[in-house]
Amino acid sequence: MNAVARMTQLDLRTVRPYRTQVVILLILTPLLAALWRQPTVAPVMVMVMSVFVAAYPFAIAEKNDLDTLYGVLPIRRRALVAGRYWFAMVLVVIAAVVGTLIGFAMGAAMGLPFGCVELGYLLVAAFVIVGVLVSVQFPLYFALGYTRARLVTFLPIFAVMAVVILAMDVLPKDSITLPSPAVLVAIAVVGTVALLVASVAISARLDARRVR
């Protein structure tokens, strides 16, 4: 196992004592989808919520002086930064799976449609949203530390939510000539990945400069 994977594993173990909280959070959230009678939205909601959980290691690290642990362990700081992003991705994937299962169960229980194609697009959209949130928030956490960054990180979340809501309302469905769905999906995924990669580099730079 390489250093980055070990750091991701460490992040998972860091969060493990709080797993009950996390599970409750991730399971209650999609119940809102039931209110909207849109079970396919469930995975999206869980995935967005997982971004909050992805910030847990920052908070726990600050409270328990894990920066010293990271300094004592035989790893490079860069591995920590990359590992944290992979930790977020692991959570997102778990959230997608859990959310999909919940949504599916919800759909079956409530007799609502659970379209796979619609689900597919929503998962991609969710990935983009999550990718943007992580890409914007993580550099702030690495640069300022959890407590100071927390005040600022809510802004991107609201901004993204606002954009999404506006987009859903404002954009008429057929007026813009969109490229074919496959291309759109490809652009979305690749773009998000590129954004994340850039974010990792920025985080690494900011983290290195921070005085601990």
Lookup result for tokens 């949130």: 133
Indicate the residue among 12 and 89 with the shorter CB distance to another protein.
12
In the bound complex, what is the minimum distance in angstroms from residue 55's beta carbon to another protein? Answer: 15
In the bound complex, what is the minimum distance in angstroms from residue 183's beta carbon to another protein? Answer: 42
Chain contacts with another protein (rule: CB under 8 A): 1, 6, 9-10, 13-14, 16-18, 60, 63-69, 71-76, 211-212
Whether 109 contacts 30, CB under 8 Å: no
What type of residue is 150? Answer: R
End-to-end CA distance of the chain: 28
Indicate the residue among 13 and 37 with the shorter CB distance to another protein.
13
How far is the C-alpha of 173 from the C-alpha of 190, rounded, in Å? 23
In the bound complex, what is the minimum distance in angstroms from residue 207's beta carbon to another protein? Answer: 13
Indicate the residue among 81 and 129 with the shorter CB distance to another protein.
81
In the bound complex, what is the minimum distance in angstroms from residue 7's beta carbon to another protein? Answer: 9
In the bound complex, what is the minimum distance in angstroms from residue 212's beta carbon to another protein? Answer: 7
Indicate the residue among 5 and 162 with the shorter CB distance to another protein.
5
Burial class (CB in 10 A: 0-12, 13-18, 19+), 27: middle
Indicate the residue among 1 and 117 with the shorter CB distance to another protein.
1
Indicate the residue among 114 and 142 with the shorter CB distance to another protein.
142
Report residue 75: phi and psi, to 5°.
-135, 160
In the numeric block, which tokens belong to residue 152?
């600022």
How far is the C-alpha of 18 from the C-alpha of 27, rounded, in Å? 15
How far is the C-alpha of 55 from the C-alpha of 73, rounded, in Å? 21
In the bound complex, what is the minimum distance in angstroms from residue 199's beta carbon to another protein? Answer: 24
Please enumerate in sequence order all residues whose Cβ is within 8 A of that of 51, keeping only pairs 6 or more positions apart, or say none. Answer: 88, 92, 130, 133, 134, 137, 157
